[in-house]
Each structure stands twice: as structure tokens, then as C-alpha cells.
Amino acid sequence: MAQDLKQLPAWTALAKHAGAMREVLMRDLFARNPGRFRRFSLRLGEHLLLDYSRNRVTEETMRLLYDLAAARNVAARARAMFAGERINITEGRAVLHTALRNRGNQPVLVDGQDVMPAVNAVLERMRDFVGAVHDGRWRGATGKRIDTVVNIGIGGSDLGPRMVVEALRADRKPGMRPFFVSNVDGADIGWVLAEANPETTLFVIASKTFTTQETMANAASAREWLAGKLGEGAVPNHFVAVSTNEKGVTAFGIDARNMFGFWDWVGGRYSLWSAIGLPIALAIGFEGFEALLCGAHAMDRHFLEAPPDENLPLTLGLIGIWNANFLGFPAVAVIPYDQGLHRFAAHLQQVDMESNGKAVGLDGRAPGVATGPVVFGEPGTNSQHAFFQLIHQGPVPVPVDFIAPLESRKPMGRHHELLLANMLAQGEALMRGKTEVEVRAELATQKISAAAIEALAPHKVFGGNRPSNTILMKSVDPYCLGALTALYEHKVFVQGAVWGINSFDQWGVELGKQLAGDILEAWKALDPGTESESLVELVGRAQQKGRG
């Protein structure tokens, strides 16, 4: 199926159209159509606006892209996902993060069983627990109130909740200090413990599998630290777990009553909506967490119900396909103009690249086209002073998603105007560029020689015609952030569906894990040798042993 993608009439029509569009200048498109911004922007009510007018697209491009989505049954595949079909075929699992935020509460069946009662039961337990921590009914072993929460997890058990907690700083419960530990580098947990008071600290051990090496190592160190300070008997008051693996959790020494469960149909990178969101609720309160779910649910309904040409995730996904597959731009920069969103790109890197970074289709054959783009980003304006040189003048255009709130959650003088002006200027500069004629005219106004103008001019030319989307959100509040995050999840879904790949497995992370285990085993078996043996030699010997 996937191998035939390039032969599909919808694909070949786009390829042909791209030939004609290569020479088209967005400058001209804007000059010819003053209503271009309105025509090529979409809204989710008052909460989100997607402006995709600064892409090299016309009415015809969009019609052909929507035809491609129809030919690839994207809408039917989305309905199958929401309905609980086992679309993750290599793991035989349903993909139901949307059920976690199904605020309408309609039944969602997996093998004839409605999952909603179980989802709601965990949410209720989270509500009770978070309330108890906040109002002091849950206390540390010495009777003190909890004021520090340390989430120990990695990948999806870290990036999503960390991103949200950072973004929603304005909603933080006074007095609560959230920390996140993910790296197996002992410095990560070490520095957090150095700042924590054992009597008032709660550890949330977050791992879907409860076998992940990094998380288990960090959890063991945290436990050792706490037991060392307060005694083994203090552990139950200071440790809770979020996992699908009750056996693993109890074996670690956390009572199942202090475990918040979720299910195999929640992918790690899509799990912030599950109990993995516990540190979010602990940081901002359960009502805030519910508002996050509501925003995501609004995007879910929109994705399912809005017609193609009004559909934000579908359109964002298709614009990405156009840029990657038809114009040949293999990366995407995600640049939030909001300091709170400084971990948004990090979260998205996992959501996008772990989902679609695959060179094999659902049918086991190569899709024959470029798939998962490289995703990276940093907040603006910082990124302007770091890698925007390449984005403006590098040899291969990098499409950019600019994201900004209309209102700041932490207003300071004119800062927000400065921030937004910078963002709008970047999109405009990428689109417009600066021609050699313009550069020469500008240089001519300066007191420099003709020879200097000649030498400088080529360096100051901006090719322009570089694509960007602009996503405006009302503010970075829980509801809008939920909608924004779900927008990107569904964008990734759309692209995976068009490419015909399974966006919900991650076999590519296994080999490294396996080899690290082998090397560790071999290392343990080694005689540390003489003092003169360097670490590099030791590792080399262990690797050799691991290779068998």
C-alpha cells in the first residue's frame, strides 16, 4: 500500500503542481490577493488561530492536498483511532489518548468494553489525592505538609508533563515546587535532592512499563536518600507511582493503593492526559488539569467534525507534507514566542520524531517518500540570536511554526508587544526576503565605495520565499495549551496516515537499550584491571565482550 503512494493520482498531481509552484513567489501571491491572510487562516473558536498564508500554496495546492488526504483515508483512519480499533498493528494495541480527555463521556469501546468508567475512576482518584496534598490531608512521615513534588520519569513520562508544568507557571499553586528528573546522569537527581527537604518532598515515579533503566535507577537513588534521612518506614508517605505495571510498582515497594494506573492503549508520548499528568495536577490543581483536558477534547471534536478546509490539524499536517515531500524541505523549526513554552519543542520532538521517524510502512515495505521531518526549536526571541541565520540564509529552507499567545500571563511593561513584533517580523522577513536590487539601493545610501557595495551585496541578499505558519493562541492557559498540544498530536497522525506508517510504535529505540544492557552486564563481569586502565579502554573491552 505505502509503496504505491507515489503512483497515486493525488500524489502525482501534487508533484506536477509543485513543479509549477517552485518559481512562484509568496510576495507576488500576497500582492495579488490582499485577502490572502483571511483566506488561508483557520480558527478553533476564540482559542487558536492557524495562519498558513505564508506558505507557497494556492487554492489549487490546497485542493490537491485535501484530495490526497481523502485518497489516503485520513478521516476514516482518525475515526478508527477514536473508536478504539487496534491501529497500532505492530503492538496489537488501540490508540486512545483521546479517551483520556473525552469530556463528553461517550462510551469508547475496546473489545466491546467501555474504557470510560476506568478512565473516570482514575481521574477521581487523582482529584482526591491532589486535593489531599494541597489541603494537607496527605502529609510527609513527620507530619509536615508536602511542598515539593519530584517527578521521576523519562521520555513521555517526563517531556509532556514537564512542558505543561513549565508553560502553566502562572497557574501554579502557591508554595508548590515542581521538579523533574529524567536523565540517568546522577547529577540530575543529585542536584534536585540537594535542594529538597525529605520531610516535605513527594516523589512521583512515572513509568508506563516500570522497567525503564533510567527511571528505575533514579527512583532507587531517591528512595535510598529518603530512607537514609527518615527511615524505611517513611517511604509510603513520600512515594507514589504512575504506571501500567502494578507488579513492578509493588516490587519496588510502593503500595498499589498509592499507584495511579493507565493502560497499554496510551502511548508514552501521548500520555500526559493520563495519570502521567499527576505532576501537572499537583502543580496547578485538578481543575486546571481538567481545563487542559477540555481544550484537548475541543481539538479532538474539531479534528473529527470540521470539514477538511476548516480543519486545523488536517491542514497543518498537509502543509507539512507539501513542504517536506513536494518542496523538499526536510526539517521543521517550532518557535514559541512565549518563555513558558520553552519545553514545547522538546515535547514535540518526541511526539513527532518518535511517531513518524520511520522508514517502513504499515505493509512492511518502504513508503518510498521522505517521512518524519527533523523537528527542533527554541523560544523566540532567543532563537533569533542563535540559529535563525541558517533559517534566513541557509541553503535549504527550514519551514517554521511560530506560536504566540495574544495575552501574556505575566505582563511586564511593553515586553509582550516587543515579543509579538519580533515574531511577526521574522515571518514577514522569511516570506519577503531582500532582493539584490533592494540591497544595493540600501547600500547606496551609505557612505561606502562602489567596490565595497559590490563585495557586500551578495552577503546581504535574503532569498526569501521561505514558508512559515503562525499559530496564535488566546493565552497560554490550560485550555488553549490543551488544544495546542492536541493540534500537534493530530498533525502527526495526519502525516503518518498519509505516509502509511504506524505512528504508534517505537522499535527504533530498542536496539540501543538492549546493547546498553549487554554492555552493562559485560562491564560488571570485568575485572576493573589495573589502575592505569582508562575508562575508554574499559568500555572498549566491555563492548567487545557485549558483541560476543
Q: What does the alpha-carbon distance between residue 471 and residue 481 come to, in Å, rounded to a whole number?
A: 12
Mark whether 60 is an active-site residue. Answer: no
Of 55-63, 191-199, 207-215, 457-465: span binding ligand F6P (CB under 6 A): 207-215
The least distance separating ligand F6P from the CB of residue 393, rounded to whole angstroms, comes to 36
Mark whether 246 is an active-site residue. Answer: no
**Under rule CB under 6 A, residue 88 binds ligand F6P:** no
Is 192 in contact with 179 (CB distance < 8 Å)?
Answer: yes
3-state secondary structure at position 473: strand
Distance of CA 101 to the CA centre of its chain: 17
When binding is defined by CB under 6 A, the residue of 154, 335, 430, 471 that contacts ligand F6P is: 154
**Under rule CB under 6 A, residue 268 binds ligand F6P:** yes
Q: Which helix (H) or strand (E) holds 438?
A: helix 436-444
Q: Which three cell numbers stand for residue 45?
A: 473558536
Is 379 in contact with 336 (CB distance < 8 Å)?
Answer: yes
Distance of CA 10 to the CA centre of its chain: 29
What does the longest C-alpha to C-alpha distance in the chain come to? 82
**Under rule CB under 6 A, residue 506 binds ligand F6P:** yes
**Under rule CB under 6 A, residue 509 binds ligand F6P:** yes
Of 153-161, 195-203, 404-412, 515-523: span binding ligand F6P (CB under 6 A): 153-161
Q: What does the alpha-carbon distance between residue 467 and residue 397 come to, in Å, rounded to a whole number?
A: 8
Nearer to ligand F6P, 509 or 526 (CB): 509
When binding is defined by CB under 6 A, the residue of 155, 288, 320, 433 that contacts ligand F6P is: 155
**Under rule CB under 6 A, residue 55 binds ligand F6P:** no
**Under rule CB under 6 A, residue 212 binds ligand F6P:** yes
- The size of the chain, in residues, is 548
3-state secondary structure at position 402: strand
**Under rule CB under 6 A, residue 207 binds ligand F6P:** yes
Nearer to ligand F6P, 206 or 284 (CB): 206
The least distance separating ligand F6P from the CB of residue 268, rounded to whole angstroms, comes to 2
Residue 364, phi-psi category: left (phi > 0), alpha (psi -120 to 50), beta (remainder):
left
**Under rule CB under 6 A, residue 269 binds ligand F6P:** yes
**Under rule CB under 6 A, residue 209 binds ligand F6P:** yes
The least distance separating ligand F6P from the CB of residue 542, rounded to whole angstroms, comes to 22
Rg for the chain, CA atoms, rounded: 26
Name the catalytic one among 199, 214, 290, 354: 354
Neighbouring C-beta atoms of residue 348, cutoff 10 Å: 25
**Under rule CB under 6 A, residue 416 binds ligand F6P:** no
Nearer to ligand F6P, 97 or 269 (CB): 269
3-class SS shares of the chain: helix, strand, coil, % to 5:
55, 10, 30
Residues 510-529 interacting with ligand F6P (rule: CB under 6 A): none
Nearer to ligand F6P, 209 or 475 (CB): 209
Q: Which parts of 234-285 fold into alpha helices (H)?
A: 235-238, 246-252, 278-284
Mark whether 385 is an active-site residue. Answer: yes
Nearer to ligand F6P, 152 or 331 (CB): 152
Name the catalytic one among 6, 16, 247, 513: 513
Neighbouring C-beta atoms of residue 309, cutoff 10 Å: 13
Name the catalytic one among 385, 447, 459, 524: 385
**Under rule CB under 6 A, residue 241 binds ligand F6P:** no
Is 305 in contact with 44 (CB distance < 8 Å)?
Answer: no
Q: Which three cell numbers stand for residue 419?
A: 515579543
**Under rule CB under 6 A, residue 399 binds ligand F6P:** no
Report how many residues bind ligand F6P under the rule CB under 6 A: 14
Residues 312-371 interacting with ligand F6P (rule: CB under 6 A): 354
Q: Would you give the DSSP letter of residue 69?
A: H
Q: Which helix (H) or strand (E) holds 242?
A: strand 239-243
When binding is defined by CB under 6 A, the residue of 17, 36, 134, 208 that contacts ligand F6P is: 208
- Which residue, judged by CB position, is nearest to ligand F6P in the bound state? 268
Q: What does the alpha-carbon distance between residue 364 and residue 539 come to, in Å, rounded to a whole number?
A: 36
Cis peptide before 211 (omega within 30 of 0): no
- The contact set with ligand F6P (CB under 6 A) reads 154-157, 207-209, 212, 215, 268-269, 354, 506, 509
**Which residues participate in catalysis according to the annotation?**
354, 385, 513
